[in-house]
Amino acid sequence: MKFSGYYWSVLVSVFLALFGAKDSLAQTKIIDLRDPAFASLGAPLFAKNCAVGYCHGSEGAAGQGPRLRGRHWNSTTLFEVIRDGIPNTTMPGWSGVLNQEGIWSITAYIIGLGTGTFEPASGKLEMGERIAAKELSSKAKRGRALFFDLTNEKRCALCHRIRSRGSTIGPELTSTTSTKSVDELHRDITDPSATIARGFEQTIVLVADGEQVSGIKKDSNEERIQLYDTAALPSPLRTFYRNQIRGVSGSSVSSMPTSYGEMYSPSELADIIAFIKSGE
C-alpha cells in the first residue's frame, strides 16, 4: 500500500516525540500533515498570503511564483522555504508574520494540492512560540507607530534603526535603551545638539562647485567620501570623489532635526521614549 511508509514515519515521529530528547517532549507537538482538518486550517491562510494577486495563484495554480499544485514535495523543505523565503527573489519568509502552526498548516494544504506522494508525513511544532519578541505596553505601541509612521516625512525611522527596523544614518537605538534615562532620551530628541553620539558627529564637505554639504559620514577612502546629506529628508547618501572636494571639516551641531519638541506633544514624546525603552 502506497501510504504505509508514511504511517511508519508518523509512528517514528510519535515515538520520538514521546520518548525522544527530553526537552522536546515538553515543547514540541507532532502534526499529522495528512489530516484534512489540519490542512483546511491552511486554506484561508494560503488564500490571503500565498494565492494573492500575482503570486502563486488560486489553489496554487501558478503565478509570478511557481505552480504549487500537482507536485511532489518534501514536507520539511517546503516548510522551511515558506518559513525562511528564498533570498534575492520575491519569495519572502513568513516567520515574522505567521506562527509555526500557520506555516505547517499551509504546508499541509499545499501537500494536499499535490500528487499525493510526499514525505515526511509529519511536522514538528515548537510550542509556546511567539511572533512578536515582546508584547508592548499601549504607550510603547503608540510610540512605535509614531516612530515608523510612513505618513510623517520626518519620522525617526528615516535615520534610526531599532530592533532590526529602520535606517542606519543615525545611531542604532536598540542598545540605547539600557544606557539612557528617560530624561536623557528626552533631551536627545528635543535638543539634539546638547550631546552628540560618538561616531555621529557632523561632517561638512566643501565641494569644488561651491556647495557645502553637511551630514553624517558613512565611509571614506583615498578615492571618495560618502556622506548622508541630512539637510534633506529622506537623506540621500552622496558620494564625493577626491577631485571634487575642496575641504572637509567638522561641527559640534547635531545632524538630527531640531523640531521634535514642537512637532510632538509631551505625551507623544513620552510614548516614543517608552517605545525606545521597551526593549530587552
Partner 1 sequence: MKLASFLLLTVCVVALLVVTTVRGEEPVSERLVNAANEPENWLTYNGSYESWRYSKLDQISRHNVKKLIPVWSFQPGIVDGGLQATPIVVDGVMYLTSSLNRVFAIDAATGKKIWQYYHEIGEFPSLYGTWNRGVAVGHGLVFMGTADNYLVALDAGSGREVWKVEIENGGQCGCGITGAPLLVKDKVIIGVNGGDSAHRGYLNAFDAKTGRHVWRFWTIPGPGEPGNESWKGDSWKYGGGSTWLTGSYDSDLNLLYWGVGNPAADFYGEDREGDNLYTESIIALDPDTGKLIWYYQQIPHDVWDFDSGYEIVLLDLPYEGKKRKLIVTPHKSGYVWVLDRTNGEFLNAWSLVENTNWIEGIDRKGRLIGRNEPVVGEYKLLCPGITGGRQWNHGAYSPKTGWFYSTALEWCQQIKAFPEKAREGMSFFGGEFKLVPPPKEEAHSHLSAYDPVTGEHFWRYKSKYPLLASQLVTAGDLLFTGDAEGEFLALDTETGQRLWSFQTGSGHRGSPITYSVNGKQYVATPSGWGSAVAGLLPQLWPETEYFQSGATLFVFSLANFGVSNEVRSE
Please state, in angstroms and rounded to a whole number, the distance separating the CA atoms of residues 180 and 106. Answer: 44
SS3 label, residue 16? helix
280 binds, among ligand HEC, partner 1, none (CB under 5 to 8 A by kind): none
CA 119 vs. chain centroid, Å, equals 31
Between residue 22 and residue 61, which ones bind ligand HEC under the rule CB under 6 A? none
> Of residues 82, 216, 227, 274, which one binds ligand HEC by CB under 6 A?
216
188 binds ligand HEC (CB under 6 A): yes
Q: Measured at the alpha carbon of residue 150, what is the angle toward residues 143 and 103, in degrees to the nearest 5?
A: 80
User: Please, which residues bridge with residue 219 across strands?
Assistant: 226
Cell of 216: 553624517
Identity of the residue, 1 or 132, whose beta carbon is nearer to partner 1 in the bound complex? 132
Helix, strand, coil shares, percent, the chain, to 5: 40, 20, 40
**Cis status, amide bond into 234, omega within 30 of 0:** yes
257 binds, among partner 1, ligand HEC, none (CB under 5 to 8 A by kind): ligand HEC
Cell of 273: 521614549
- Residue 239: CB minimum distance to ligand HEC, A: 18
221 binds, among ligand HEC, partner 1, none (CB under 5 to 8 A by kind): none
Q: Which stretch binds partner 1 (CB under 8 A): 21-29, 118-126, 187-195, 234-242?
A: 234-242
Q: Which stretch binds partner 1 (CB under 8 A): 116-124, 161-169, 194-202, 259-267?
A: 161-169
Cell of 195: 550631546
Q: Which residues bind partner 1 (CB under 8 A)?
A: 47-49, 51-55, 57-59, 61-67, 85, 88-92, 97, 148, 150-151, 153, 157, 165-167, 211, 213, 229, 231-239, 241
